Amino acid sequence: MDRYMRRLESIETFLEIKSSLMEQYDHQIPTLVIPAGTCGQASGANALIRAAKKELLQKKLTRKIRLRVTGCHGFCAMEPSVLVEPQRTFYPKVTPDDIATIIEAVAHGKTVNRLLFIDLETGQRIEIQDDIPFFKKQTRTIMSRNEKVDPIRIHDYIRNGGYEALAKVLSCQNPQSILEEVKASGLRGRGGAGFSTGQKWQLFASQRNGNDKYIICNADEGDPGAYMDRSILEGNPHGIIEGMTIGAYATGATEGIIYVRTEYPLAIKHLNAAIKQARGLGLLGDNILGTKFSFDINIVKGAGAFVCGEETALIQSIEGHMGEPRQRPPFPIVKGLYGRPTMINNVETWANIPLIINMGGRTFVQIGTEGSSGTKIFSLVGKIKNTGLVEVPMGITIKEVVQGIGGGPSGKVKIKAVQTGGPSGGCIPASRFDLTIDYESLKNVGSIMGSGGMIVMDDNTCMVDVAKYFMNFLKDESCGKCFPCRKGTQRMHEILDDISRGRGSSESLELLEELAMAVKDTAMCGLGQTASNPVLSTLRYFRDEYIEHIEKKHCPAGVCKDLITYFISDRCIGCMLCIKACPEGAITGTKKQQHVIDTSKCIKCGTCKDVCKSEAVQTI
Amino acid sequence: MEEVEKEKISTIINKYKKDRTYLLAIFQDVQREYRYLPKEAIHFICNELNIPESKGFEVATFYKSLSLTPRGKHTVHVCLGTACHLRGGPNILDTFERELKIKKGETTGDGMFTLESVNCLGACALAPLVRVGDKDFGKTTPGIVQNIIQEFKTGE
C-alpha cells in the first residue's frame, strides 16, 4: 500500500490513485456496514463490531466478507444496525448473538428473514434499506456519504469521489468560477439565519485588509435537540475539510479553523485524524496537490457556552477571551478574528460545497424550492416513532416528515406540535403541518429553520413547561453583557415558573408578552433578539393552555409537578412493583389488591408510573 | 505551588508557545490533568502569559466545562436537551440528586461523583441520556439510576 501513503505531488497523481482505488475495490464482495457514531456506540455498536470481527476471524472469512465501521446513518431508533452491501439488506437492532447468524447467511448469499425490519403499518418485513419508508422518502445527498466511508480512512473517501471537487477547482485555476457556481446553487447558510452563501463568499473574496484571511467552520452545535452537525463531523470529516479547502481557494483565505463543541469527543477525534491524513497526502498544508495553493486547518475546542455559536462570540472564544458577542458592524467578514477578514459557515453548509462543485450549481438549484435550494438535514426527535436524522429536499411539508418519515407518534397519544430552530425557534401546532419547510414559511409562523432540530411534542407535553424549559436554558446561557437579555430572560423565566406552579395571575400573560417584545427589540445579539420566540409562539398557538394553568390551576398535559397529583387507578393488578420502587415509601398495598399512594409523602418523581406495567399509575 | 506542578503546567504552556490566545486550550489541558482548574494554576499561567489575573478568572468562570473546585472521580452528566427534557430527563436528574445526596454541580463527600447537567449531548434518539466519564447510558429511567451508580462504585 506504500504508494497510497505517499504525498500526492500533482493533480494527475491524485487522479491516478483515485482510479486505482476504484478499480481495486470489488463491489461484489459482501460488506457488513456498522454505524458507530456516538448514538450507535451508546446503543451497543462497539459490542457488535467486536463480535463481528471475532466471528469473521474464527470462520476464516476475513477475505470473503468485509467489515466497515462508519458514522451515523440516521435511523437512530433502530441502532445498533447492520447494512449488508451490495444488496443493501438492513438489519435493525442487532444483538451480538445475532451477528454470527447474519455472517453465516451473508457467506452463503442469503438473508436472515426473522431479523429483517418490520414495517409496523403493513406488518410486512422489508429487506432492502432503501425500501423502508423512513429512508425511501428522503433525499440523502449528504447523509448517504456517511454509509460509504470509514471516517478515519481517507482512501475510503477518495474512492467514493472525495477530493475530486478540490482537484477539479485546482485544475481550473479560476476562483471566480467557483464563486459563480456557489451563487448559482442558491445555497443558503444552514446554521439558521439563511444568508446567501454565494453572496457571503463573494463579499469575503473582495476583502483586502492585510494578508491574513480566515475561514471558520462553526461546529458549536449548541441547539439542544439538534445533532446533524455531530453526525457529519463524526461520519464524514473529510467532506468538511474538502469544503473548506475549496472555500479557501475561491476566496483567498489563508487559514481555516474548526470550532467544535467539547461535548463531541468522537467528532474531535475523527477530525484530528482526518486533518492529519489530509496533510500527509498533500491535500492540506503547503502546495496542495503540487500547486501553488497553500491552506491549513486547525481545531479549536469550545468549552460549553451556547452563546459561542454566535459569530462574534465565537471569534472572542477562539482568541482566548470569554465568549461575549459584540456590536456589528464591523461585521466579521470585514474585521473578525485578530482584526482580519473572517468568514464563518456552518458544518452543513461546508458539507454541501463539494456536492455543488461536483454536480454544478445549476443542477443543485433544481433540488428544493425556488428560494430555498438543496436539502436540509433535520434531527427528528422527541415523541416520535422513528427518531433519527432525516435529509429532505426543501419544500417538503412538515406532515410528510412527521407522518411519512417519522411514522407518527411514539406513544398512544397524538402529536400536538413540532418545535424547530432550538431556543431561538418556535412551536408549530399540528393544525399547521401542511406547511412547507423553507426559510420563509417557517419564519411566517413565528419559528425559524435554525440549525435543523425538529422536536415532536404530543398531548403529554405541556407547552408552558416547554416555554419555561427554553427560558431556563436561555437565562443560563445569556452571557450577561447586555441588560435586556440578561434580565429579560430571567424575568420571563420567573413569570413562566409562577404560571407552572399555579401562581400566575391575570396580568401574567400581558406582562410576559410585553417583556418578550421588549427583549426582542432591544437585545444586542441574535441570542437575545430571538430569545422570546419560544414564549411568543406558544402564546400564539397554545394560549388556552396558559389560561388553564392560571385560572384552573391545572396542567392539562400532567407535567407541571405542582399542579398534578399521582394516583393509582383500578387498572392496578397489585403486583407491588411500584411499592418496591417508590423512593419515599409512599405507596402501600398488598398483593393482588389495588395499591394506594399517600399524597403527603409523594414527591412526584414518576418512578411508580415508570415501573408500572399495567398503566395504572395516572395523574390528575 | 510546588515545583513539580509548575513544571507540569509549564510543559502545557510551552506546548502552546506561551501564546495568550491559547488561554482556553491551556486551561482545558490543565483541567484534564487535575480534573479541575486549581486557583494556583490560574495565578501561575497568567503570570507566565503576562496577562492580568482578572482576565484568567474571567475566562475560567465563563465557560461551563471549566471548574474551580475539585471534581469527583466520575462526572455524571445528565442530558437536559429538549428531547431528554420531554422524555423525563429532569426526573433522572432529581433521582441522581436524591441517590447521591448532592445537588447539581456538587461532588460527593467521598470524591467519587460530581453531578452535572448538560444542555445536549446530541444523542437524542436515546433520550433521556446519561454520560458517566466516556460511557453513555441511553433510555434511562429513575429505576436504573441506582444501577449506574453501583456500576461505577464497584467497577473500580
Phi first, then psi: what are they for A566, rounded to 5°?
-85, 140
3-state SS assignment for residue A233 = helix
A79 contacts B86? CB cut-off 8 A: no
Instruction: Convert the pLDDT of each residue in A114-140 to its tens digit.
Output: 999 999 889 999 999 999 999 999 999
The pLDDT-based confidence of A47 (bands split at 50, 70, 90) is very high
Task: Report whether CATH 1.20.1440.230 matches the domain A463-551.
Answer: yes
Please write the tens of the pLDDT for every residue from A243-298. Answer: 999 999 999 999 999 999 999 999 999 999 999 999 999 999 999 999 999 999 99
Chain B residues close to A264, C-beta within 8 Å? 122
For A74, how many CA atoms within 13 A lie in the half-sphere containing its CB? 29
Q: What is the mean pLDDT of residues A398-402?
A: 97
Q: Which residue has the cell 490543565?
A: B30
B109-143 per-residue burial string, b: 16 or more CB within 10 A, e: under 16: eeebbbbbbbbbbbbbbbbbbbbbeeebbbebbbb
SS3 content of chain A, % helix, strand, coil (to 5): 45, 15, 40
Give mean pLDDT, residues B108-129. 93
Mean per-residue pLDDT for A542-565? 95
Which grid cell sits at A548?
A: 388553564
The answer to whether residue A1 scores a pLDDT higher than 80 is no
Strands A89-91 and A453-458: unpaired
CA distances from A235 to A142, A238, A311 (A): 10, 9, 25
Is A558 in CB contact (< 8 Å) with chain B? no
Residues 6+ apart with CB under 8 A from A60: none
For residue A123, the tally of other CB atoms under 10 A from its CB is 7
Q: A368-379 burial by CB neighbour count: b if 16+ within 10 A, else e?
A: bbeebbbbbbbb
Q: What does the pLDDT read at residue A191?
A: 87
A607 by DSSP, 3-state: which? helix
> What percentage of chain A reaches a pLDDT higher than 90?
92
Whether residue A320 and residue B22 make contact (CB cut-off 8 A), yes or no, is: yes
Residues 76-95 of B with CB under 8 A from A: 80-83, 85-88, 91, 94-95
Overall average pLDDT of the B55-66 stretch:
95
Pairing relationship of beta strands A255-260 and A375-382 according to DSSP bridges: unpaired
CA distances from A148 to A1, A27, A167, A170 (A): 21, 12, 20, 25
Dihedral over Cα of A54, A60, A65, A67: its sign: positive
Q: Give A464-494 pLDDT, tens digit per residue.
A: 999 999 999 999 999 999 999 999 999 999 9
Report residue A12 CA to chain centroid gap.
Answer: 37
| Torsion angle of the four alpha carbons A263, A267, A268, A271, in this order, in degrees rounded to the nearest 10 | -160
pLDDT of residue A532: 96
Cβ-contact A248, A368 below 8 angstroms:
no
Q: For helices A463-477 and A483-500, give the axis angle rounded to 10 degrees.
A: 150
Identify the pLDDT of residue B143: 83
CATH class of residue range A565-619? alpha beta
Rounded CA-CA distance A91/A118 in Å is 10
A619 phi/psi in degrees, rounded to 5: -125, 150
- Residues composing chain B: 156
User: What's the rounded mean pLDDT across residues A314-320?
Assistant: 96
Q: How far is CA A505 from the centre of its chain?
A: 38
Task: For B4-44, write each residue's pLDDT tens digit.
Answer: 889 999 999 999 999 999 999 999 999 999 999 999 999 99
Task: Name which of A2-6, A235-239, A281-285, A371-375 the model is least confident about.
Answer: A2-6
pLDDT band at A502 (very low <50, low <70, confident <90, very high): very high
Domains of chain B: which residue ranges?
A: 6-62, 74-154
Taking an 8 Å cut-off on Cβ atoms, the answer to whether B83 and A455 are in contact is: yes
**Contact predicate A394/A370, CB 8 Å:** no
Q: How far apart are the CA of A46 and the nearest CA of chain B, in angstroms?
A: 12
Query: Closest Cα partner for A259 from A330, A204, A311, A186?
Result: A311
Chain A nearest C-alpha distance from B80 (Å): 8
Mean pLDDT of A567-594: 93
The CATH number that domain A375-458 falls under is: 3.10.20.600
- The reported pLDDT for the residue numbered A17 is 96
pLDDT value of residue A357:
98
DSSP string of A207-227, one letter each residue: --SSS--EEEEEE---STT--
B79, A224 Cβ separation under 8 angstroms = no
List Cβ neighbours of A272 (8 Å cut-off, separation of 6 or more): A299
pLDDT in tens, A11-41: 999 999 999 999 999 999 999 999 999 989 9
Around A433, how many Cα atoms within 13 Å sit in the side-chain half-sphere?
18
Interface touch A222/B88, C-beta < 8 Å: no
pLDDT tens sequence across A513-534: 999 999 999 999 999 999 999 9
CB-CB neighbors (< 8 A) of A262 in chain B: 28, 65
Residues in chain A: 620
Task: Assess whether the previous peptide bond of A330 is cis (omega < 30° from 0).
Answer: yes
The span from the CA of A608 to the CA of A20, in Å, is: 62
A589: alpha, beta or left, given left = phi > 0 and alpha = psi -120 to 50?
left
Interval A373-387 mean pLDDT: 95
What number does CATH give the domain B74-154? 3.40.30.10
pLDDT value of residue A177: 97
Q: What is the pLDDT of residues B65-103, one digit of tens each?
A: 999 999 999 999 999 999 999 999 999 999 999 999 999
Report the C-alpha gap between A253 and A226 in whole angstroms: 29
Cβ within 8 Å of residue A24, ≥6 positions away = none
Among A306, A377, A381, pick the best mutation site for testing chain B contact (most B Cβ within 10 A).
Answer: A381
Burial class (CB in 10 A: 0-12, 13-18, 19+), A465: buried
Nearest CA distance, A293 vs chain B (angstrom): 27
With a CB cutoff of 8 Å and minimum separation 6, the contacts of A566 are A597, A599, A602, A604, A606, A608, A609, A617, A618, A619
pLDDT at B1 over 60: yes
Q: Is A500 on the interface with B (CB under 8 A)?
A: no
Could you tell me which chain A residue has the CA closest to the CA of B143? A607
Best CA proximity match to A214, nearest among A339, A357, A313: A339
Q: What is the mean pLDDT of residues A375-404?
A: 96
**Which residues of chain A are within 8 Å of residue B20 when distances are taken between CB atoms?**
320
B9 in A contact zone (CB under 8 Å): no
Pick the CATH number of A25-148 from 3.40.30.10, 1.10.10.10, 3.30.750.24, 3.60.60.10: 3.40.30.10
Phi, psi for A564 (deg, rounded to 5): -125, 160
What is the CATH code for A161-364? 3.40.50.11540
What pLDDT is stored for residue A193 in this prediction?
A: 82
Does residue B28 belong to the interface with chain A, where contact is any CB pair within 8 Å? Answer: yes
pLDDT greater at residue A208 or residue A337: A337
Contacts of A300 in chain B (CB under 8 A): 25
> Which of A227, A300, A610 faces B123 most closely, judged by CB atoms?
A227
Interface A:B, Cβ pairs < 8 A: 154
- Rounded distance, CA A262 to CA A221, Å? 10
Q: Which of A265, A322, A610 sits opposite B59 (nearest CB)?
A: A322
Q: Give the mean pLDDT of chain A.
A: 95
The residue type of A31 is T
Mean pLDDT value across residues A79-86? 97
User: Are A579 and A586 within 8 A, CB to CB?
Assistant: no
Name the residue among B62, B52, B7 with its Cα closest to residue B30: B7
Q: Does A262 touch chain B (CB under 8 A)?
A: yes
| Minimal Cβ distance to A322: which of B58, B65, B82 | B58
Task: Spell out the SS3 assignment of A345-388.
Answer: EEHHHHHHHHHHHHHCHHHHCCCECCCCECEEEEEEEECECCCE
Contact B76, B85 (CB under 8 A): no
What span, in angstroms and rounded, lies between the C-alpha atoms of A19 and A496? 61
The CA-atom distances, in angstroms, between B6 and each of A237, B12, B42, B60, B156 are 37, 10, 11, 19, 30
Burial class (CB in 10 A: 0-12, 13-18, 19+), A525: buried
Q: Is the pLDDT of residue B156 over 70?
A: no
Give me A269's grid cell.
Answer: 477525534
Cβ of A221 under 8 Å from any chain B Cβ? yes
- The answer for A 174-193 residues in CB contact with B (under 8 A) is none
Query: What percent of chain A stands above pLDDT 70?
Result: 100
